[in-house]
Amino acid sequence: MSTIEAAAENAHDAHGQHHDHDHPSFLAHHFDTPEQQFDSGKLGIWLFLVTEILFFSGMFCAYAIFRMLRPDVFEGCSQFLNTKLGAINTGVLLFSSLTMAWAVRCSQVKQDRGLVGMLAATLSCAMIFLGVKAIEYSHKWEMGLLPAGMFFYDPANPHPESHTNYLFYICLPFMILLGGVVIWLLTSLVTKNRFHIQCAMPLTVAAACFFVGIGLGMVLESGDSEHVSDSHHSEVDHLAGNSPQVTMINSGDTEVLERLAADATNSGAKSELTARQRQFETAGTTIVQEGDDIAGAIVSVEENVMTKRKAGVFFSIYYCMTGVHAIHILVGIGFLVWLLVRAVRKDFNPQYFGPVDYVGLYWHLVDLIWIYLFPLLYLIR
Amino acid sequence: MSAHGDSKDGYDFAHPIPVPMLLAVFGALVVLTIITVAQASFDIGSLDIVVVMVIATIKAALVMAFFMHMAYDKPFNVIVFLSSFAFVALFLIFTMSDSSQTSPDFEPVIEEAATEMASPAVEAPAASE
């Protein structure tokens, strides 16, 4: 039996007086036991995750339909999505899932410093992810790879002179955030406010990690030319060139045909002869051998997919899915910061770790979505 | 959450996952990610999306079972969450099958000028119009 006694400074209640309940302050009045409180919250967060899954499924459905109907567009556009950056982001998010699960464990065994460290690590990974995303997005905007309607990519001029530095504008809010947190850290150091110092330090590290992500993205993007355009060629299958030059073969019946065609009244024979001659010309001068494998068909036709209706829609789907995912990351960052402050305040114990667990579930869902997004968007061939 | 029911008095219900298990699951996830990226260099034709989805589902199952603690959770929570995937499957299957059957009728394939037409590669001589 282990009822955790609420610390004196935490004891407060809605009536403004000190009850002599024997229930700890973290147990809400309408619950009998901490376990019941935890279970209720757990069911609540699972239901929320169900709504999130259904929410994303709408976008996955759009992706599935468009890919089913226009696979050529996907192949043509996949060259613009840098697989390396996507893989780095996957690794970073998986690691953040590890640290989040570890944080939940720390909260359950009352390892307060471990908890703060793990939450800070999760936050840092989230910021690195956003930094890499910022590089990807700004690079695409410069090239004109925008959602349909704003799409203006030009294969003949893939890197137009851009007047707006998109990367700077994306980084601006994060720079302001980093500046704010650093100022908070410095003032708390000066005023020697322990609680504030303990909060501000991990948050400074996390805010700085956004720029680690930017740096990572820049290094990988420049060292990797993702514009290897494997454009499709129009091809006609033909034989390997060991073909001698030949003239039109005059088999027996062609001679007869020529003699008949010489007579002006035989227009049918004449046109057959001209047809044969033209056919000979277009067929080229290769000789067909016995047992040669000829398809004689057009293997693929170059079709320009870099239009608003095709590549534009692809990028609409791309920005919608990754953008909404990034918004979820931002919301998760907000919750993690809240948890971090509560963890520094040592709010959690083996009977009250619900908030950490619930935010953990949300974070794992965000990772889950990315696990599916990555192969579907970045690993198309 | 213990799978064997509630704790006796409603207080000892924490079930911390052992650190080695967390690290092992993480290791498995990283290995599966590497496999997913590596399979891109093998040409397995239209099978690649199936392979990639299977690996992604294994990764998702690992994350769900261990990181999200579903292996030790109350069965009701598990049912609730997994049922959402059943509805997603219904959604996708019906919409995609309808789309594949009816789209050609009302989705015209429009040839339009791009921002700048890419210069065509080798012209097909047999396709002379």
Kindly report the average pLDDT of chain A as a whole number.
Answer: 83
List the one residue out of B48, B21, B46, B22 whose CA is nearest residue B35.
B48
Contact yes or no for A35 and B11 at CB 8 A: yes
Where do the domains of chain A lie?
A: 32-231+304-378, 235-299
Determine the length of chain A. 381
**Domain match, B56 and B6 both:** yes
ipTM for this model: 0.81
In a domain, B127, yes or no: no
**Chain segment A111-139, per-residue pLDDT in tens:** 999 999 999 999 999 999 999 999 999 99
Residues of A in contact with B120 (CB under 8 A): 234, 302
**Could you tell me which CATH number the domain at A32-231+304-378 has?**
1.20.120.80
Are B95 and B67 members of one domain?
no
The number of distinct structural domains making up chain B is 2
d(CA A115, CA A125): 15
**Residue, of A239 and A281, whose pLDDT is higher:** A281
Taking only residues 79 to 108 of chain B, the set having a beta carbon closer than 8 angstroms to any beta carbon of chain A reads 80-81, 83-85, 87-88, 91-92, 95-96, 99-100, 103, 107
Question: Long-range CB contacts (< 8 A, 24+ apart) of A290-295?
Answer: A292/A239, A294/A237, A294/A238, A294/A239, A295/A237
Asked whether residue B41 falls in the same domain as residue B90, the answer is no
> Within this chain, do residues B82 and B66 fall inside the same structural domain, yes or no?
no
List residues bridging with A349 in a β-sheet: A352
Average pLDDT over residues A319-346: 96
Q: Which residue has the higher pLDDT, A321 or A313?
A: A321
pLDDT digits (tens, 9 = 90+) for A247-306: 555 555 667 777 777 776 777 777 888 888 887 777 766 666 666 666 566 555 556 767
Q: Which residue, among A98, A232, A303, would best test binding to B if mutated, counting the most B CBs under 10 Å from its CB?
A: A98
B2 and B47 within one domain: yes
A155 in contact with B, Cβ within 8 Å: yes
Range of the domain at B11: 1-72
Question: What pLDDT is recorded for position A296?
Answer: 60
Predicted pLDDT of residue A235: 36
Cα-based torsion angle of the residue sequence A231, A237, A240, A241 in order, rounded to the nearest 10 degrees: -90
CB contact under 8 Å between B95 and A381, yes or no, is no
One-character DSSP codes across A262-329: HSTT-HHHHHHHHHHHHHHHHH-SPPPPTT-----SB--------STTTHHHHHHHHHHHHHHHHHHH
Residue B116 has pLDDT above 50, yes or no: no
Q: pTM, whole model, 2 decimals?
A: 0.77
Token pair in block for residue A129: 């992810």
Chain B: closest CA distance from residue A259 (Å): 29
**B111 in a domain, yes or no?**
no
